[in-house]
Amino acid sequence: MSQKAFSFDKVTVGKIARGAAIAGGGAVLTYLLQAIASTDFGNFTPIVVAVCGIALNALKEYMKGA
C-alpha cells in the first residue's frame, strides 16, 4: 500500500509516532540531565553520576536494537 496525498497509511502513522516519541524522550532526558547536573547530592554525587551514565548507555543500546 502506498502513501496517498492528504491521508496517512498505517506505516506512516507508525513512523510519525516513533519520531514523536524519540523527540519527546530526548526533550525529557535533556531536562532531567540538566536538573541532575545542577543538583548537589553531597557524598552520593559519584554514585548518581555513575548510575545516570549506565542508564543512558542502556537506553542508547535499547533504542539501537539489532
pLDDT of residue 12: 86
3 within domain boundaries = no
Above 80 in pLDDT, residue 43? yes
> How confident is the model over 22-45, as a mean pLDDT?
85
Q: Which three cell numbers stand for residue 59?
A: 537506553
Inside any domain, residue 2: no
Does any domain span residue 58? yes
Long-range Cβ contact pairs of 43-49 (< 8 A, separation 24 or more): none
For cell 539501537, what's the residue?
Answer: 64
Residue 14 lies in a domain: yes
Determine phi and psi for 4, rounding to 5 degrees.
Answer: -110, 155
Residue 5 DSSP label: T
Burial tier of 39 (Cβ tally within 10 Å: 0-12, 13-18, 19+): exposed
Range 30-47 average pLDDT? 85
The answer to whether residue 1 sits within a structural domain is no
| Domains: count for the chain | 1
Whole-model pTM? 0.54
User: What is the mean pLDDT of the segment spanning 62-66?
Assistant: 72
Average confidence (pLDDT) over 31-51: 86
How does residue 66 score in pLDDT terms, banded at 50, 70 and 90? low
